[in-house]
């Protein structure tokens, strides 16, 4: 008897990668997205206490069997659990059960190993770019803004100082004085910074002649939001070209 796991839970976790392939910019959340995906896979075979207690999940010793869940707690999907239950006596009376659960552990270990090797978890620029997400504004530092200015803009020291001043003001501004940020909107960050670029300084009752509050900071943000976060767009273009080339053949 062959047991082929049908793990819909794993598929749902993997499907979260689709969020990285949207047309809207996710460059400001890509670090959070990849860490969330990694955490989801770790939860399939690592003890939750280990994940919760570890400040940096990139340092979890996921190959250590002591940190892994017992075999009956490994996430393998409901269909597979039903199949195991149906042939429980046969599985436990042979080495088949051990081989199966060993293969499950190996699968998760291999996926996590690939994520750690290929995903840019330690990329300094991506760490700086998290400031684009309004939810992170109080946790970001001035050094991140300075590095981004020097890396992606042609600016003078005076202009960088202006951006920093706007950033400091932005960090301490109450939420009700900032544009609405709807995290469920795919293009939420784009919409937020678009609204930020037209936000005026509250200096008087008549705001018609007030200067823009975050003109320089929003300019930096808009530049950063043009950075590609995946290769989905060129891949879609290649697919379209391929379909167009096939049309004469089909008709």
* Cα→Cα distances 122→52, 95, 149, 228, Å: 20, 41, 20, 18
- 225/27 Cα distance (integer angstroms): 7
- Mapping DSSP to helix (H, G, I), strand (E, B) and coil, where does residue 46 land? strand
Residues 6 or more apart in contact with residue 188 via CB below 8 angstroms: 24, 181, 182
- Residue 68, strand partner residues: 46
CA distances in angstroms from 220 to 135, 200, 225, 228, 246, listed in the order given: 18, 17, 9, 15, 43
Mean pLDDT of 149-159: 91
Nearest by Cα to 195 from 210, 184, 186, 182:
182
pLDDT value of position 186: 67
Q: For residues 134 and 29, give the distance between their C-alpha atoms in angstroms, rounded to a whole number.
A: 10
Condensed to tens digits (0 to 9), the pLDDT of residues 8-54 reads 555 555 555 655 556 667 788 888 888 988 999 999 999 999 999 99
Task: Give CA–CA dist 34/120, Å, rounded.
Answer: 9
For the cut 90, the answer to whether the pLDDT of residue 233 exceeds it is no
**Could you give the C-alpha distances from 35 to 30, 77, 127, 187, in angstroms and in order?**
8, 22, 12, 20
Residue 176 has pLDDT above 70, yes or no: yes
Interval 154-177 mean pLDDT: 92
8 Å CB contact between 170 and 164: no
Residue 178 and residue 11: Cα distance in Å, rounded?
37
pLDDT digits (tens, 9 = 90+) for 62-117: 999 999 999 888 888 777 777 777 777 766 666 667 788 889 999 999 999 999 99
Q: What phi, psi does 98 have (nearest 5°)?
A: -60, -45
- pTM (2 decimals)? 0.72
Q: What is the pLDDT of residues 182-219, one digit of tens each?
A: 877 767 888 899 999 998 876 544 444 558 889 999 99
Residue that wins the pLDDT comparison between 179 and 93: 179
pLDDT of residue 217: 94
- The pLDDT of residue 204 is 44
Q: Helix (H, G, I), strand (E, B), or coil: what is residue 202? A: coil
Query: Helical H runs in the chain?
Result: 8-15, 30-42, 48-53, 78-86, 88-92, 96-118, 124-128, 142-152, 157-172, 188-196, 215-225, 232-250
Query: Residues 222, 163: contact at Cβ < 8 Å?
Result: no
- Rounded Cα–Cα distance for residues 169 and 214 (Å): 9
């Amino acid at each position: 008897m062959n047991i082929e796991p049908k793990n819909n839970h794993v598929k749902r976790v993997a499907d979260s990668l689709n969020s990285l392939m949207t047309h809207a910019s996710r460059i400001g959340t890509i670090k959070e997205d990849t860490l969330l995906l990694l955490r989801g896979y770790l939860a399939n075979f690592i003890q939750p206490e280990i994940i919760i207690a570890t400040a940096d999940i990139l340092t979890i010793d996921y190959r250590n069997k002591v940190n892994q869940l017992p075999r009956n707690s490994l996430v393998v999907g409901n269909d597979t659990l039903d199949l195991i239950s149906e042939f429980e006596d046969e599985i436990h009376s042979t080495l088949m059960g051990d081989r199966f659960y060993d293969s499950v552990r190996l699968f998760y270990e291999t996926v996590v190993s690939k994520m750690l090797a290929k995903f840019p978890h330690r990329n300094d620029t991506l760490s700086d770019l998290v400031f684009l997400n309004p939810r992170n504004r109080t946790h970001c530092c001035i050094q991140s803004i300075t590095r981004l200015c020097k890396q992606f803009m042609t600016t003078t020291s005076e202009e960088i100082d202006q951006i920093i001043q706007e950033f400091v003001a932005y960090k301490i501004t109450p939420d009700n004085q900032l544009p609405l940020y709807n995290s469920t909107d795919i293009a939420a960050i784009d919409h937020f910074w678009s609204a930020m670029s037209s936000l005026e300084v509250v200096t008087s009752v008549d705001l018609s002649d007030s200067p823009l509050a975050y003109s320089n900071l929003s300019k930096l943000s808009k530049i950063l939001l043009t950075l590609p976060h995946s290769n989905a767009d060129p891949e879609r273009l290649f697919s379209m070209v391929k379909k167009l080339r096939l049309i004469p053949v089909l008709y």
